Amino acid sequence: MSAYATCVERFIQSDIRNPLYDKPDMISFSAGRPDAAVFPLSDISTAFHVLFSKGELVQALQYGTTEGLGPLREKLAAVVMKEAGVVTDTGNIMITTGSQQGINFSAQLFVNPGDTVICETPTYLGALNTFSVAGAQCIGIPVESDGMNIEALQQTLEKHRDAKFIYTIPDFQNPTGSYMSLKKRKQIAELAAVYGIPVIEDAPYSEIRFTEEKLPPIKSFDTSGMVIYLSTFSKTLCPGLRIGWICADTSILQKYVLLKGTSDSQSSTIDQFLAYYYLTNSDWKARVASVRQVYLKRRNTMIEAIKKYLPDTISYVVPEGGFFVWLKLPILMDDKELLNKTTAFWNVSFVPGSGFFPEKNKNNYIRLSYSNTPVDAIPEGIKRLGQALQ
């Protein structure tokens, strides 16, 4: 195959970044965008103000270290990671440009074309596309309402001893909303140690939790140093800052730092300063508590509308957190064709489910996001979807 043909095959238009979704008057259940109304505008403008008034602007306009701004990494370790349930140090944290960069770096570090990686099926389409660009063969482990099927995972690890890593989203998974049980979290940490395989734990939705019960991350059970934890401010603060981070054992983290040095040298110094001042002057715990309430209301509105307007033959699990409802349609249908019809005739959009499967063989699922649709528009959008499905 020519170099050009290989490139064309690996790089595909992502179903989560389809320009169709932004058409005027569209009721969009597509992108997993946070609601702009919950952006902490006054806190961020205070952070800007502090940055200017402290006279640190010169430093903020200068190059910084590849690992990221020391005081920000310190705050992440002491405040945000502590709240997430991981005891860690500044030295275990590297700032990334969104957690998408953490996924991308993981693929670049561990995968050569043709290598096997293990992930959930279905899983985050943006990760699948990244793994595909790296030339990985993705083996999907079925995801249940309480996380990956561990038996299937173990069998796959036995069969594919050369697999490069396990990629998992334990908290309110994208796209299924699944919340991994405590038992499975411990089992995965154990399997990582037994098989010596890295686990990439992607946790962007962990704080968007509607349950009282907070389950500790897989990283908190990591005895082998094999668990690499990725997080981000995209869903809790605002994605435009592009501040994410990797928390890992120092020996692995050093490799990520070297790779970042060859990639973008460092994440934006200004953005890191803003995030640092935000964390210095704001109450993180109160922030996540208030953000949860916004999305809980959206989730409830969407579930009520689904019960009212969609046929009973459509199944779903009510998500206990995160941004998504994953619908299983009763019959196989061309999900992309369905999207073309709903956008053309009903002005309502969703993300077709097939792209979330590494095997690309299922087309009777659709992903609805409630995170960025005005509460008042949710019932009307679901009603239109119900009409289209008729």
Tell me which residues touch ligand PMP (CB under 6 A): 32, 98-100, 124, 126, 169, 174, 202, 204, 232, 234, 239, 244
Cα 343 → chain centroid = 25
* Nearer CB in complex with ligand PMP: 274/310: 274
Backbone φ, ψ for residue 130 (5° rounding): -65, -45
Which residue, 80, 72, 103, 68, is CA-closest to 266? Answer: 68
Of 237 and 302, nearer to ligand PMP (C-beta) is 237
Tokens 């897989």 -> residue: 218
On whether the CB atoms of residues 203 and 171 are closer than 8 A, the answer is yes
Q: Which is nearer to ligand PMP, 193 or 259 (CB)?
A: 259
Which single residue brings its beta carbon nearest to ligand PMP?
Answer: 98
Least spacing, CB of residue 100 vs ligand PMP, in Å:
3
Query: Minimal distance in Å, beta carbon 308 to ligand PMP?
Result: 28
Give the shortest CB-358-to-ligand PMP separation in angstroms: 14
**Please, which residue, 117 or 310, has the CB nearer to ligand PMP?**
117
Q: Are 76 and 286 in contact (CB under 8 A)?
A: no
CB of 244 to ligand PMP, least distance (A): 4
What's the min distance (Å) between Cβ of 126 and ligand PMP?
6
271 or 346: whose CB is closer to ligand PMP? 271
For residue 117, the cross-strand partners are 138
Continuous segment of H or E residues that includes residue 201: strand 199-202
Q: In the complex, what is the shortest distance from the CB of residue 205 to ligand PMP, in angstroms, rounded to a whole number? A: 7
Nearer to ligand PMP, 177 or 386 (CB): 177
CB nearer to ligand PMP: pick between 32 and 147? 32
Least distance from C-beta 124 to ligand PMP, angstroms? Answer: 4
In the complex, minimum distance from the CB of residue 212 to ligand PMP, in angstroms, rounded to a whole number: 23
Task: Tell me how far apart the alpha carbons of residues 386 and 382 are, in angstroms, rounded to a whole number.
Answer: 6
Closest CA to 292 of 369, 240, 235: 235
Tokens found for residue 375 = 């509460």
Tokens representing 242 are: 């592009």
Q: Which DSSP string do the residues of 19-80 spell out, in sequence order?
A: GGGG-TT-EE--S-PPPGGGS-HHHHHHHHHHHHHTT-HHHHTS---SS--HHHHHHIIIII
Closer residue to ligand PMP in complex, CB, 88/232:
232
* CA terminus-to-terminus distance, the chain: 44
Whole-angstrom distance, CA of residue 200 vs CA of residue 188: 11
Q: Which of 234, 385, 247, 248 is nearest to 322 (CA)?
A: 234
CA atoms of 264 and 255, how far apart (whole Å) = 15
Provide the 8-state DSSP code for 78: I
Nearer to ligand PMP, 100 or 266 (CB): 100
Q: What's the residue count for the chain?
A: 390
CB of 243 to ligand PMP, least distance (A): 8
In the complex, minimum distance from the CB of residue 334 to ligand PMP, in angstroms, rounded to a whole number = 25
Beta carbon of residue 335, minimum distance to ligand PMP (angstroms, whole number): 19
d(CA 194, CA 165): 13
Q: What is the DSSP string of 86-147?
A: ----GGGEEEEESHHHHHHHHHHHH--TT-EEEEEES--HHHHHHHHHTTPEEEEEEEETTE
Nearest residue (CB) to ligand PMP, 99 versus 178: 99
Give the C-alpha separation, 49 to 43, whole Å: 10
Nearer to ligand PMP among residue 34 and residue 386 (C-beta): 34
